[in-house]
């Protein structure tokens, strides 16, 4: 009986024990995995790929925009010399590889200096030495293979590649070693570009490898959004090359330029020199990091005269043909001076009376100063505000300056005439170009923008900022009258004949502003500017055309001199640079000429010669001309 | 006999219990075995999926690297270098060098480029024909 019981209960017990134990293990393994030893748990972050930055031009074959910056998967190679010694590397039937042989292999596949690599291999005190970041598949395959080398640590990472090298460095900016945007678009749009990192939670074995079947959680990373700029990389390159050539030719210390679309205010190109290499942003000097188009303010000089004239015409105070005395000390009805301390005149053409139009063409300080004085601080200030001075334009770049435009109640009597000619106010280049864009766009100022859209990884558009509508600054009639007045500037009679373009009309204005040193103006040291609208928008291609050819671009060029130079005037230094940039821009944008006759009649050299000879003739006919070479005129 | 009957009764009761318990145990055992088999199969699948995921990742990375390489080759500076290397002097045409034609091959009216071309071919320029609505062009001196 007893024996029968044992025979029955023993297998039952054994089966129960086995089942219980197995169930316990299963439950433990599947349902409560966290109850295992914590040292085998692991949680790691999966780095998300940073978004790319594209320009506005499209590849006709793929229909995609050209990338300017992109994150590329690559490998970071580091060296552990101790592991190199401990692990014997040999192929079956061969001798173990020596440290020298491994150093040679490393230096060959990573294209490093052999002597330096060998020195690193011998430096056993430092066990995590940086070799290189590379996306070379062959280097990865060789250095991961224990047949060839030991002690090389390979880590997956992403490399930020700037395809256009130094071009557009101030706009694109840079990322720091942690992959965080530290300047330019990279900084401003960092929260869109960086994406969301993923996560893996699970267990690893004794050697630290993940046990895939014990993975508890895997959240894939979300790649960063892509930023699309309004920049045209071809225009950008042309502009940078022309500008750097101009800086070298005229001996300037710095220079900057911006090209705006005349209709919608989009930035087509933006260049600033000195520049920097975005991959070496940390090593660049501070003065090179400044984007002089948006983050640098300066007295604009005579380019501001257009704004004063536009305000006076729009307000109905004057017409383009209204005559003003060029007498600086003009007396009023009571015999007292009519104006308070007018600025001296740098105009090379002297006439007892001058129209407003001629005042723009010859850049008369006295006439425009009188206009400003008559307008009064409140009106002039309100127009300057409407043109966008004294406040940020809102362009999508970090560190934008607002300039200095004091409240009208703080203007003294002298400021009335000084602000009118661009003294006593500080502006940024983008503000100036934007103000000219308003004149080009029939009086409607479109806020300048450099980012056209932001698309997430699914291709959906992401809202990145407020939508800003255009604002009417002056009437259509005023803007056309102002552009007509400006036509004469880039002509033999004007201050910028060297900015004239064969086949296209240019409405522009020069500015030669004295630089401030300490509390006064430094004699002979200037900042030259030329801002032009091409085509001018007031010239019909043929007399039979109903409408003139509309303006296409606004181009501003400034050269900053630190020393006295021969060609320091806006018309003679910034003007030729403008001309080069405009020629390239019009060619790239395939803008039809509005003066086709000039194309048929002259070639480029002939056109330049005629402009020079006509300018000389104009100067010789001027009774005030003292025989000075033409380049001194502005 | 009586005792035997008692035993047999008890034995039959035990055997019924045994059968029940045995059936439950067997079921449990089978379930455990099935679970183990399924678990093992799942683990295999997980490993395969992981391997495939890694392959996909590496392929994506390779694609990215290749496209980056291609993008770098097409950068403005590299294109310029390539042009210089092969002795090609190329630049974009100006607007007066572009002739736009329709599907039938005829140039669109009012193109300066056409006027220029005709001027060169015929040795003269007729603005009436070529420029929009006949622009007043001066004769080349």
> Tell me: the pLDDT tens digits for A485-518?
999 898 888 888 888 998 899 999 998 888 888 7
What is the nearest CA distance from B15 to chain A, expressed in angstroms?
A: 9
B111 in the same domain as B62: no
Q: Is residue A223 part of a domain?
A: no
pLDDT score of A630 more than 50: no
Q: Is residue B67 part of a domain?
A: yes
Q: Is residue B141 part of a domain?
A: no
Cβ distance of A163 and B28 shorter than 8 Å: no
Q: Which of A248, A246, A265 is nearest to A257 (CA)?
A: A246
pLDDT band at B109, cuts 50/70/90? confident
Best residue of B27, B75, B118 to probe chain A, by most A CBs closer than 10 Å: B75
B7 in the same domain as B76: yes
Q: Is residue B106 part of a domain?
A: yes
Q: Determine the 3-state secondary structure of A539 from DSSP.
A: coil
Q: Is residue A159 part of a domain?
A: yes
Best residue of B61, B115, B121 to probe chain A, by most A CBs closer than 10 Å: B61
B117 touches chain A (CB under 8 A): no
Q: Is residue B77 part of a domain?
A: yes
**Residue finishing a domain among A107, A135, A163:** A163
In sequence order, the 6+-apart residues with CB closer than 8 A to the CB of A40 are A203, A204, A205
* Max mean pLDDT range (A206-220, A425-439, A457-471, A503-517): A425-439
Q: Is residue A579 part of a domain?
A: yes
Q: Is residue B139 part of a domain?
A: no
* pLDDT tens digits for range A252-271: 999 999 999 999 999 999 99
Average pLDDT score, chain A: 86
Cβ distance of B75 and A592 shorter than 8 Å: no
Q: Is residue B65 part of a domain?
A: yes
CATH of the domain at A135: 3.90.1310.10
In sequence order, the 6+-apart residues with CB closer than 8 A to the CB of A373 are A339, A340, A342, A416, A417, A420
The rounded distance, in Å, linking the Cα atoms of B100 and B109 is 9
Cβ distance of A163 and B36 shorter than 8 Å: no
- Structure confidence at residue A327 (pLDDT): 76
**Residue finishing a domain among A163, A187, A206:** A163
- Structure confidence at residue A348 (pLDDT): 55
pLDDT score of A631 more than 50: no
Higher pLDDT, residue A621 or A296: A296
In sequence order, the 6+-apart residues with CB closer than 8 A to the CB of A186 are A53, A69, A172, A173, A174, A175, A193
In sequence order, the 6+-apart residues with CB closer than 8 A to the CB of A475 are A314, A443
Q: Is residue A3 part of a domain?
A: no
pLDDT score of A248 more than 80: yes
pLDDT score of B1 more than 60: no
Q: Determine the 3-state secondary structure of A515 from DSSP.
A: strand
- Structure confidence at residue A442 (pLDDT): 94
Residue-range definition of the domain harbouring residue A546: 233-279+296-450+478-632
In sequence order, the 6+-apart residues with CB closer than 8 A to the CB of A520 are none
Q: Give me the residue from B68, B74, B112 closest to A596, CB to CB.
A: B112
Higher pLDDT, residue A569 or A531: A531
- Structure confidence at residue B128 (pLDDT): 37
Q: Is residue B74 part of a domain?
A: yes
The rounded distance, in Å, linking the Cα atoms of A56 and A614 is 41
Task: Give the E-state strand segments of A117-204 in sequence order.
Answer: 129-134, 152-162, 174-175, 181-183, 198-204
Query: Helix, strand, coil % (nearest 5) of chain A?
Result: 40, 20, 40
The rounded distance, in Å, linking the Cα atoms of A358 and A353 is 10
pLDDT score of A398 more than 90: yes
Backbone angles phi, psi at A28, to 5 degrees: -65, -40
- Structure confidence at residue B123 (pLDDT): 61
Cβ distance of B133 and A545 shorter than 8 Å: yes
Q: Give me the residue from B65, B69, B95 closest to A590, CB to CB.
A: B95
Cβ distance of A542 and B112 shorter than 8 Å: no
The answer to which of A15-19, A50-54, A442-446, A504-508 has the lowest mean pLDDT is A15-19
- B-chain CB neighbours of A49 within 8 Å are 64
The CA-based dihedral angle spanning residues A265, A596, A310, A263, taken in that order and rounded to the nearest 10 degrees: -20
Q: Give me the residue from A163, A215, A544 closest to B134, CB to CB.
A: A544
- B-chain CB neighbours of A23 within 8 Å are 28, 32
B67 in the same domain as B7: yes
pLDDT score of A416 more than 60: yes
B106 in the same domain as B60: no
Average pLDDT score, chain B: 76
pLDDT score of A405 more than 60: yes
- Structure confidence at residue A403 (pLDDT): 93
Higher pLDDT, residue B4 or B20: B20
CATH of the domain at A529: 3.40.710.10
- Structure confidence at residue A341 (pLDDT): 72
Residue-range definition of the domain harbouring residue B125: 94-130
Contact (Cβ atoms closer than 8 angstroms) between residue A536 and residue A550: no
pLDDT score of A56 more than 90: yes
The rounded distance, in Å, linking the Cα atoms of A339 and A333 is 12
B124 touches chain A (CB under 8 A): no
Binding-face residues of B in 18-57 toward A, CB within 8 A: 18, 21-22, 25, 28-29, 32, 35-36, 39, 42-43, 46-47, 50
Long-range contacts of A249-254 (CB under 8 A, 24+ apart): A250/A559, A250/A561, A250/A565, A250/A567, A250/A568, A250/A573, A251/A561, A251/A563, A251/A565, A252/A528, A252/A559, A252/A560, A252/A561, A252/A565, A252/A573, A253/A560, A253/A561, A253/A562, A253/A563, A254/A292, A254/A559, A254/A560
Q: Is residue A212 part of a domain?
A: no
B68 in the same domain as B15: yes
Best residue of A73, A76, A223 to probe chain B, by most B CBs closer than 10 Å: A73
pLDDT band at A2, cuts 50/70/90? low
- Judged on CB neighbours under 10 Å (0-12, 13-18, 19+), B21 is middle
Higher pLDDT, residue A346 or B42: B42
Question: Could you tell me what percent of chain A has a pLDDT over 70?
Answer: 91
- A-chain CB neighbours of B141 within 8 Å are 601
What is the nearest CA distance from B110 to chain A, expressed in angstroms?
A: 10
Tally of structural domains, chain A = 2
In sequence order, the 6+-apart residues with CB closer than 8 A to the CB of A622 are A348, A349, A350
- B-chain CB neighbours of A169 within 8 Å are none
B100 touches chain A (CB under 8 A): no
- Structure confidence at residue B80 (pLDDT): 85
The answer to which of A256-260, A294-298, A601-605 has the lowest mean pLDDT is A601-605
Q: Which residue does chain B place closest to A215, by CA atoms?
A: B46
* pLDDT tens digits for range A167-188: 999 999 999 888 899 899 999 9
A251 in the same domain as A141: no
Q: Determine the 3-state secondary structure of A389 from DSSP.
A: coil
| Reported pTM | 0.83
B72 in the same domain as B13: yes
Q: Is residue A215 part of a domain?
A: no
Tally of structural domains, chain B = 2
- Structure confidence at residue A52 (pLDDT): 94
pLDDT band at A397, cuts 50/70/90? very high
Higher pLDDT, residue A572 or B59: B59
Cβ distance of A541 and B135 shorter than 8 Å: yes
* pLDDT tens digits for range B30-78: 888 898 899 889 888 988 988 998 899 889 989 999 999 998 988 888 8
pLDDT band at A297, cuts 50/70/90? very high
pLDDT score of B132 more than 60: no
A247 in the same domain as A151: no
**Residue finishing a domain among A163, A196, A220:** A163
What length is written for chain A?
634
B135 touches chain A (CB under 8 A): yes
Q: Which of B112, B129, B20 is nearest to A594 (CA)?
A: B112
Helices (H), B74-138: 76-85, 112-122, 127-130
- Structure confidence at residue B134 (pLDDT): 32
- Structure confidence at residue B140 (pLDDT): 39
Binding-face residues of B in 72-91 toward A, CB within 8 A: 72, 74-77, 91
Question: How far is the first Cα of chain A from the last one, in angstroms, to the nearest whole number?
Answer: 128
Rounded average pLDDT over A95-106: 85
Q: What is the 3-state secondary structure (H, E, C) of A258-296?
A: EEEECCCCEEEEEEEECCCCHHHHHHCCHHHHCCCCCCC
């Amino acid at each position: 009986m007893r024996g029968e019981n044992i025979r029955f209960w023993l297998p039952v017990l054994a089966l129960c024990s086995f089942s219980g134990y197995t169930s316990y293990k299963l439950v433990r393994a599947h349902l409560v995995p966290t109850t295992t030893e914590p040292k085998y748990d692991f949680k790691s972050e999966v780095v998300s790929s940073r978004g790319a930055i594209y320009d506005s031009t499209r590849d006709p074959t793929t229909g995609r925009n050209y990338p300017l910056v992109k994150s590329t998967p690559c490998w970071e190679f580091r060296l552990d010399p101790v592991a190199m010694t401990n692990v014997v590397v040999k192929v079956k039937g061969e001798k173990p590889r020596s440290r020298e042989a491994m150093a040679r292999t490393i230096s060959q596949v990573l294209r490093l200096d052999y002597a330096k690599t060998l020195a690193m291999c011998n430096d056993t005190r430092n066990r995590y030495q940086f070799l290189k970041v590379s996306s070379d598949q062959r280097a990865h395959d060789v250095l991961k293979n224990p047949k060839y080398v030991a002690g090389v640590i390979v880590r997956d990472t992403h490399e930020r590649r700037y395809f256009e090298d130094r071009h557009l460095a101030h706009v694109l900016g840079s990322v720091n070693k942690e992959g965080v945007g530290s300047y330019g678009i990279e900084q401003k749009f960092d929260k869109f570009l960086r994406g969301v990192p993923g996560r893996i939670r699970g267990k690893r074995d004794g050697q630290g490898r993940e046990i895939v079947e014990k993975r508890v959680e895997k959240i894939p990373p979300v790649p960063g959004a892509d930023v699309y700029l309004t920049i045209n990389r071809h225009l950008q390159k042309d502009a940078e090359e022309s500008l750097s050539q101009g800086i070298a030719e005229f001996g300037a210390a710095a220079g900057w330029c911006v090209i705006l679309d005349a209709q919608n205010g989009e930035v087509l190109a933006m260049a600033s020199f000195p520049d920097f290499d975005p991959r070496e942003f940390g090593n660049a000097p501070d003065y090179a990091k400044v984007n002089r188009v948006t983050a640098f303010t300066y007295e604009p000089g005579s380019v501001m005269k257009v704004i004063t004239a536009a305000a006076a015409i729009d307000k109905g105070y004057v017409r383009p043909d209204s005559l003003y005395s060029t007498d600086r000390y003009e007396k009023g009805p009571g015999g007292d001076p009519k104006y308070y301390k007018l600025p001296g005149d740098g105009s090379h053409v002297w006439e007892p009376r001058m129209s407003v139009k001629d005042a723009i063409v010859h850049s008369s300080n006295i006439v425009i100063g009188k206009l400003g004085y008559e307008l009064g601080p409140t009106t002039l200030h309100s127009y300057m505000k409407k043109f966008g001075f004294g406040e940020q334009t809102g362009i999508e770049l970090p560190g934008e300056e607002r300039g200095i435009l004091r409240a009208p109640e703080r203007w003294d009597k002298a400021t009335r005439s000084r602000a009118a000619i661009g003294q006593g106010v500080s502006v940024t280049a983008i503000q100036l170009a934007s103000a000219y864009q308003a004149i080009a766009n029939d009086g409607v100022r479109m806020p300048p923008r450099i980012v056209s859209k932001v698309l997430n990884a699914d291709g959906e558009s992401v809202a990145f900022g407020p939508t800003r509508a255009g604002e009417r600054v002056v009437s259509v009639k005023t803007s056309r009258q102002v552009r007509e007045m400006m036509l004469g500037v880039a002509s033999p009679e004007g201050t910028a004949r060297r900015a004239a373009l064969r086949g296209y009309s240019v409405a522009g204005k020069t500015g030669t502003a004295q630089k401030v040193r300490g509390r006064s103006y430094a004699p002979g040291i200037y900042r030259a500017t030329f801002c032009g609208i091409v085509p001018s928008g007031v010239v019909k291609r043929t007399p039979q055309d109903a409408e003139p050819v509309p303006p296409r671009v606004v181009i501003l060029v400034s050269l900053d001199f630190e020393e006295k130079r021969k060609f320091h005037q806006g018309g003679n230094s910034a003007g030729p640079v403008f001309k080069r940039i405009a020629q390239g821009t019009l060619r790239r944008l395939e803008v039809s000429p509005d003066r086709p006759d000039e194309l048929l009649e002259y070639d480029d050299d002939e056109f330049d010669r005629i402009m020079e000879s006509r300018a000389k003739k104009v100067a010789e006919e001027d009774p005030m001309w003292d025989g000075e070479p033409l380049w001194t005129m502005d | 006999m009586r005792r035997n009957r008692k035993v047999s009764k008890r034995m039959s009761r035990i055997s019924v219990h045994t059968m029940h318990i045995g059936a439950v145990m067997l079921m449990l055992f089978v379930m455990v075995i099935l679970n183990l088999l399924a678990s093992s199969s799942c683990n295999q699948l997980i490993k395969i999926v992981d391997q495939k995921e890694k392959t996909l990742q590496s392929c994506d990375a390779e694609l990215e690297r290749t496209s980056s390489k291609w993008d770098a080759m097409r950068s403005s500076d590299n294109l310029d270098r390539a042009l210089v290397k092969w002795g090609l002097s190329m630049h974009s045409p100006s607007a007066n060098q572009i002739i736009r034609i329709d599907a039938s091959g005829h140039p669109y009216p009012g193109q300066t480029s056409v006027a220029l071309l005709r001027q060169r071919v015929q040795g003269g320029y007729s603005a009436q024909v070529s420029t929009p609505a006949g622009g007043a062009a001066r004769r080349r001196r």
